[in-house]
C-alpha cells in the first residue's frame, strides 16, 4: 500500500527539468539557462564518478588511488613526483597524501624514497604494477567515455569541448 497520503515524497530523484522548474518556483531571480548548464554539469559529474568507481573497483583499486596514478603518469618519464606536488594537484592536504601513499606503497603501486640530493624531499615513483593498473583503468575509462559521447557527432564534440574549455579558462586563470 504505497503512500496513502501524499506527505512522503517519491523516492525517485527529480529529472533535470523538474529540478529547474522547482528552483524557479522557489527562487524568482533564477536564470533557467544558466541553471540548466550548472545542474547538468553537477549531475553528469556525479554519474561519471560513480561509473569510474565501479570500474576501478574491478581492478582492485579506488578512485583515489587512480587519481594518484594519473598524476604520476601525467608527469611523464621517469614517473616521479614529490608528495607535496601530488597533494597540490589532487587538491588534498599533505597529511592525506602521506596516508594515501602509505597504502599505495603497501599495495606496491608506488615507491617512496628520500631524495638523496635534498634530504628534506621525498620522491614517489610509479611501479610497473602501478603503471599497468593505470593502463587497465584507462582502457575501461575510454570505453565508458566513448559510450557517454556516442550520441554526439564529431562536430558537436568539437563545439562542446571548445565551450567547456572556455569556461575552464575563466575559472582556472
Which residues would be at the binding site for DNA (CB under 7 A)? 1, 62, 64, 82-85, 91-101, 103, 112, 118-122
Residue 110 burial by CB count (10 A; 0-12/13-18/19+): exposed, middle or buried? buried
Which of 49/58 has CB closer to a copy of itself? 49
End-to-end CA distance of the chain: 55
Which of 31/102 has CB closer to a copy of itself? 31
**In contact, 62 and 56? CB cutoff 8 Å:** yes
Pick what 83 binds: DNA, a copy of itself, none; C-beta below 5 to 8 Å, kind-dependent: DNA
Which of 99/157 has CB closer to a copy of itself? 157
Minimum distance of a copy of itself from residue 145's CB (angstroms): 5
Which of 20/134 has CB closer to DNA? 134
Minimum distance of a copy of itself from residue 106's CB (angstroms): 24
Spacing of C-alpha 45 from chain mean position = 8
**In contact, 149 and 159? CB cutoff 8 Å:** no
Minimum distance of DNA from residue 124's CB (angstroms): 8
SS3 of residue 116 by DSSP? coil
Minimum distance of DNA from residue 43's CB (angstroms): 17
Strands of 80-81's sheet, edge to edge?
80-81, 122-126, 110-114
Amino acid at each position: 500500500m504505497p503512500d496513502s497520503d501524499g506527505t512522503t515524497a517519491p523516492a525517485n530523484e527529480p529529472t533535470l527539468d523538474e529540478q529547474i522548474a522547482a528552483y524557479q518556483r522557489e527562487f524568482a531571480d533564477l536564470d533557467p539557462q544558466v541553471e540548466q548548464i550548472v545542474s547538468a554539469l553537477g549531475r553528469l559529474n556525479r554519474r561519471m564518478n560513480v561509473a569510474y568507481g565501479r570500474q576501478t573497483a574491478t581492478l582492485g583499486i579506488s578512485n583515489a588511488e587512480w587519481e594518484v596514478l594519473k598524476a604520476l603518469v601525467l608527469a611523464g618519464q621517469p614517473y616521479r613526483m614529490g608528495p607535496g606536488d601530488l597533494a597540490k594537484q589532487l587538491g588534498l592536504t599533505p597529511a592525506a597524501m602521506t596516508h594515501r601513499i602509505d597504502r599505495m606503497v603497501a599495495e606496491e603501486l608506488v615507491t617512496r624514497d628520500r631524495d638523496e640530493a635534498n634530504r628534506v624531499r621525498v620522491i614517489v615513483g610509479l611501479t610497473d604494477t602501478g603503471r599497468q593498473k593505470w593502463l587497465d583503468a584507462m582502457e575501461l575509462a575510454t570505453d565508458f567515455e566513448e559510450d557517454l559521447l556516442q550520441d554526439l557527432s564529431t562536430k558537436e564534440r568539437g563545439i562542446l569541448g571548445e565551450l567547456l574549455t572556455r569556461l575552464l579558462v575563466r575559472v582556472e586563470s
